[in-house]
């Protein structure tokens, strides 16, 4: 929860993705209690309530929208600076759909995926299928004091790294993708800008 508060608190307009309604509501409440205006959007809400949540983000009434994948299908919000995947996506298509909510129409955006330490290999496979390279930031190391971070800002944490992937310049992998059709599966999508992808692993809880 602390990682999510820090990530969203340091950003502008943000969308946080969750697999379940319960987690989406919990994260929205945690952010709101931390002074970060947030609303949730999930499949148990009727369309009118979903529209209100989406409008709250679009109009700047809240900073963050915490959404499940089902509820977020087809949403379009301009100027989303940050996408946080609080739950690891099930597959590369879900990853691309989530990540596509930022870096739209030539703008820049950041995608951060938070995973448990034991999920790194699975996440690497997913990113490979999506055609994305990422740098890994291990939260098991303590953050550097704010005054010691220099120009690196949030990424002044020891061992932290950042990677920018311009979707427009991604090398053509030709037949390597077979019939997965990652890029061809979304016709007429708007021009993408640039997003940064970072995968974070929360610190392990101390053992008794």
CB-based contacts of 185: which residues, under 8 Å, 6+ apart? 93
Lowest mean pLDDT among 117-121, 136-140, 203-207: 203-207
Residues 174 and 172: their CA atoms lie apart, in Å, by 5
Mean pLDDT calculated for residue range 124-140: 85
Q: What does the pLDDT look like over 67-121, one tens digit per residue?
A: 998 888 878 888 899 999 999 999 999 999 898 888 776 778 889 999 888 888 9
Q: What does the pLDDT look like over 23-74, one tens digit per residue?
A: 999 999 999 999 999 999 998 999 999 999 999 999 999 999 999 988 888 7
The two three-digit tokens of residue 180, written as one number: 């997965």
H or E stretch at 122: helix 120-130
Handedness of CA 31, 96, 203, 150 (dihedral sign): negative
| pTM exceeding 0.85 | no
Q: Which domains does the chain have, with CATH numbers?
A: 2-201 (3.40.50.300)
The two three-digit tokens of residue 10, written as one number: 């340091």
Please give the angle made by the CA atoms of 93, 64 and 83, to the nearest 5 degrees: 30
Contact 197, 133 (CB under 8 A): yes
For the chain, percent of residues with pLDDT exceeding 90: 39
């Amino acid at each position: 929860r602390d990682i999510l508060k820090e990530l969203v608190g340091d950003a502008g307009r943000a969308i946080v993705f969750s697999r379940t309604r319960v987690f989406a509501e919990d994260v929205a409440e945690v952010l709101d209690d931390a002074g970060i205006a947030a609303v949730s959007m999930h499949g148990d809400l009727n369309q009118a309530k979903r529209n209100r949540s989406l409008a709250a983000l679009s109009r700047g009434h809240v900073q963050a929208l915490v959404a499940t994948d089902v509820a977020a299908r087809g949403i379009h919000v301009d100027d989303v600076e940050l996408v946080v995947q609080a739950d690891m996506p099930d597959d590369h298509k879900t990853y691309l759909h989530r990540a596509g909510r930022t870096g739209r129409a030539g703008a820049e955006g950041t995608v951060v995926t938070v995973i448990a330490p034991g999920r790194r290999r699975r996440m690497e496979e997913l990113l490979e299928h999506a055609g994305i390279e990422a740098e890994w930031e291990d939260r098991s190391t303590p953050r550097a004091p704010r005054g010691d971070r220099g120009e690196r800002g949030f990424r002044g944490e020891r061992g932290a790294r950042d990677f920018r992937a311009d979707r427009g310049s991604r090398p053509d992998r030709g037949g390597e993708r077979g019939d997965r059709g990652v890029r061809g599966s979304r016709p007429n999508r708007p021009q993408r800008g640039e997003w940064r992808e970072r995968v974070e692993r929360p610190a392990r809880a101390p053992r008794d």
